[in-house]
Amino acid sequence: MDLPRSFTIRESSHRVCNPFTSEKLAILGQAISPSPGARMLDLACGKGEMLCTWARDHGVAGTGVDISTVFLEAARARAVELSVADRVGFVHADASGHVADDPVDIAACVGATWIGSGVAGTVELLRRSLVPGGMMLIGEPYWRREPEDQATVEGCHLARKDDLLPLPELLEQFGALGCDVVEMVLADQDSWDRYVAAQWLNTRRWLDANPDDELADELRAELAAGPAQHARYQREYLGWGVFVLMDR
């Protein structure tokens, strides 16, 4: 049980494995201002940057769950680096069925709502781990601009236009699920550039070091097409944000 190697190659230098910069992550923490000692569960936590930096900056404690052994190794190293390994821990598991043993104050799934087969299922999964009055953090893309054709949809790595909603409709969906949206921090085009362009450099460095690897042809083709595809489609049409929800 692990992520395909291509994911860890593309994101080898990333601390935040989504189009959120470290600055945006810090803004989100400042916005919700968790109390020292608040307990947190982060499903599909990636390299654990949110848990580790919030443990350092806000005194939270908690657990991250992820399927990637490579990402979890980085998360544990980051916890040691920030001197928070006594407050945060990481579990190698499929986050799609994970519920906290004891209810937590903050339950998060930032950029991986496929673990609940979409937004609705992920909200329901996070609810199962929350104390009354707790907060859910959902990271989710949305249409920044409505795509005009199927080529644009596929250029954004999606199969159907209906796979995403425009931002107002996404916010309404949270309401229909019985949640109040109490905060949001949105990525911008620069955030997307930092996330995606770092993947290009990681890929190029890996290709230079591994020209004969079985993945080399696939990643070479991806790198050749990626920058123009990003500029034409993803940068213009895709938004992304983290939404803070509380049950009504």
Q: How far apart are CA 167 and CA 149, in angstroms?
A: 19
Q: 177 pLDDT band (50/70/90 cuts)?
A: very high
| 170 closest CA partner among 94, 113, 107, 99 | 113
Q: Chain-wide mean pLDDT for the chain? A: 97
Q: Taking residues 117-127, what's their average pLDDT?
A: 97
pLDDT value at position 97? 87
pLDDT value at position 191? 96
The number of residues in the chain equals: 248
pLDDT value at position 175? 98
% residues pLDDT > 70 (the chain): 100
CATH architecture assignment, domain 5-141+164-188+239-247:
3-Layer(aba) Sandwich (3.40)
Q: Taking residues 215-229, what's their average pLDDT?
A: 98
Please enumerate in sequence order all residues whose Cβ is within 8 A of that of 169, keeping only pairs 6 or more positions apart, or say none. Answer: none
| 138 closest CA partner among 229, 241, 14 | 241
Q: Is 177 in contact with 223 (CB distance < 8 Å)?
A: no
Q: Taking residues 153-167, what's their average pLDDT?
A: 96
DSSP structure class, residue 241: E
Query: What are the respective helix, strand and coil percentages of the chain, to the nearest 5?
Result: 50, 25, 30
% residues pLDDT > 90 (the chain): 98
pLDDT value at position 65? 98
Q: Tens digit of pLDDT for each residue in 49-107? A: 999 999 999 999 999 999 999 999 999 999 999 999 999 999 999 999 899 999 999 99
pLDDT value at position 1? 78
Q: Taking residues 168-188, what's their average pLDDT?
A: 98
Q: Is 197 in contact with 184 (CB distance < 8 Å)?
A: no
Does position 28 have pLDDT exceeding 90, yes or no? yes
Q: Taking residues 208-233, what's their average pLDDT?
A: 98
- Residue 187's SS3 state is coil
Q: Is 47 in contact with 24 (CB distance < 8 Å)?
A: no
Q: How far apart are CA 51 and CA 61, in angstroms?
A: 8
User: Is residue 24 packed enough to be buried (19+ CB in 10 Å), middle (13-18) or exposed (0-12)?
Assistant: buried
Does position 162 have pLDDT exceeding 90, yes or no? yes
Q: Is 2 in contact with 67 (CB distance < 8 Å)?
A: yes
- Residue 34's SS3 state is coil
CB count in 10 Å sphere of residue 205: 13
Give the largest Cα separation in the chain, rounded.
Answer: 55
